Structure 1
Amino acid sequence: MLRNLAANLITHERIETTEAKAKELRRVAERLISKATRLGAVAYTPTAELAVGDRAKRLHVERLLGSYIPRWGVKSDGSKVDIIAKVLGELSKRFEGRPGGYTRIVKLGPRRGDNAPMTLIEFIDAAPIAESGPTQASAVTAAEPQVPVSAAG
């Protein structure tokens, strides 16, 4: 279950799941990304440009990642994504200087059917969530009555 959740998180960069699953998924996903970021520039440099020793290091990390998560994922539009290449290429470059904390968990509230606490787990630099309701900052300002300066007098 965690392997597929990790693959879906990497593929879609944001998934909705229960709070308990999200907390466990955070541990798994951060370890996978840390393995790739420890390689440094070797992770996202094209293989043809690498030295023999660096190719071996990269292959080792590819096999470690591939032993845990599946190689291919499918986006919501139906296109195939190489998950291992995305971790090594895109995510390792994106989180290169960061020492950890690659994911964020946002609590959404209880699920309708069984009242399970639902959360949204995403990478920290993912695009902001498009909400239909008022944001928290605008809800605070809307709750406070606006007093005109001349009437406060």
Structure 2
Amino acid sequence: MRHRVDTFKVGRSSAHRRSMLANMVSSLFEHGSIQTTVVKAKAARSFAERLITIGKKGDLHRRRLAVSKLRDKGAVKKLFDEIAPGYEGRNGGYTRILKLGKRRGDAAEMCILQLVEVAAVEEAPKKEAKVAPKKAKAEEAPKAEVKAEEAPAVEAKAEEAPKAE
């Protein structure tokens, strides 16, 4: 009997499901968010959250466990060095699922699976980037006037060159 056995089968064999989830979570850790179907996202969310909890402990044994489950040393390195330390004060809830609607081809429910803290970190530099160009534009305006004054001098030099020939 399967009492209280809670596995999203996702319509795949167990080996295919493990490989798919490992690849999805590896991409999630590399990029911060992925777009997938809702059923796959729910399966990947539980897998990713378990790995982040393993990453918070941070010792060699936990790193080897993560490599055995994720199969991507680069993603494990990023998990232990960058992602897991950001969640030290949080007990679970490391990911979120944002629903997008139905896919055009087969009407499957699509969503974005993303790391919670990564979304907050990505939005902050965008706001700073918007502020910085405004200051730069104010500084560039006087330079443009100087360039306008230099332009006739450049044209005069260009006129002298054909006369010499």
| 1:148 alignment counterpart | none
| 2:86 alignment counterpart | 94
In the alignment, the residues of structure 2 paired with residue 71 and residue 5 of structure 1 have an alpha-carbon distance, to the nearest angstrom, of: 11
Identity fraction in percent: 42
| 2:69 alignment counterpart | 68
In the alignment, the residues of structure 2 paired with residue 34 and residue 117 of structure 1 have an alpha-carbon distance, to the nearest angstrom, of: 28
TM-score for the superposition, normalised by structure 1: 0.63
In the alignment, the residues of structure 1 paired with residue 87 and residue 111 of structure 2 have an alpha-carbon distance, to the nearest angstrom, of: 23
In the alignment, the residues of structure 2 paired with residue 107 and residue 83 of structure 1 have an alpha-carbon distance, to the nearest angstrom, of: 25
Aligned residues: 102
Q: Deviations over 1:103-135 (max 9, x none)?
A: 00000000010000000000012235x9xxxxx
Gaps of 5+ in 2: 1-19, 127-165
Gaps of 5+ in 1: 44-57, 73-81, 131-153
| 2:75 alignment counterpart | 83
Equivalent residues in 2 for 1:28-43, closer than 5 Å: 28-37=47-56, 39=57, 43=58
Moved over 6 A (4+): none
Equivalent residues in 2 for 1:2-151, closer than 5 Å: 2-37=21-56, 39=57, 43=58, 58-72=59-73, 82-125=74-117, 126=119, 127-128=122-123
What displacement does 1:71 show?
2.3
In the alignment, the residues of structure 2 paired with residue 3 and residue 113 of structure 1 have an alpha-carbon distance, to the nearest angstrom, of: 26
TM-score for the superposition, normalised by structure 2: 0.59
SS in 2 for 1:84: helix
Q: Deviations over 1:75-97 (max 9, x none)?
A: xxxxxxx2111111111111111
Larger RCO, structures 1/2 (Cα 8 Å, 6+ apart) = 1
What displacement does 1:67 show?
0.3
AA aligned to 2:84 is S
Indicate the structure (1 or 2) with the bigger Cα radius of gyration.
2
SS in 2 for 1:16: strand
| 1:134 alignment counterpart | none
| 1:140 alignment counterpart | none
In the alignment, the residues of structure 2 paired with residue 25 and residue 92 of structure 1 have an alpha-carbon distance, to the nearest angstrom, of: 17
AA aligned to 2:33 is R
AA aligned to 1:121 is L
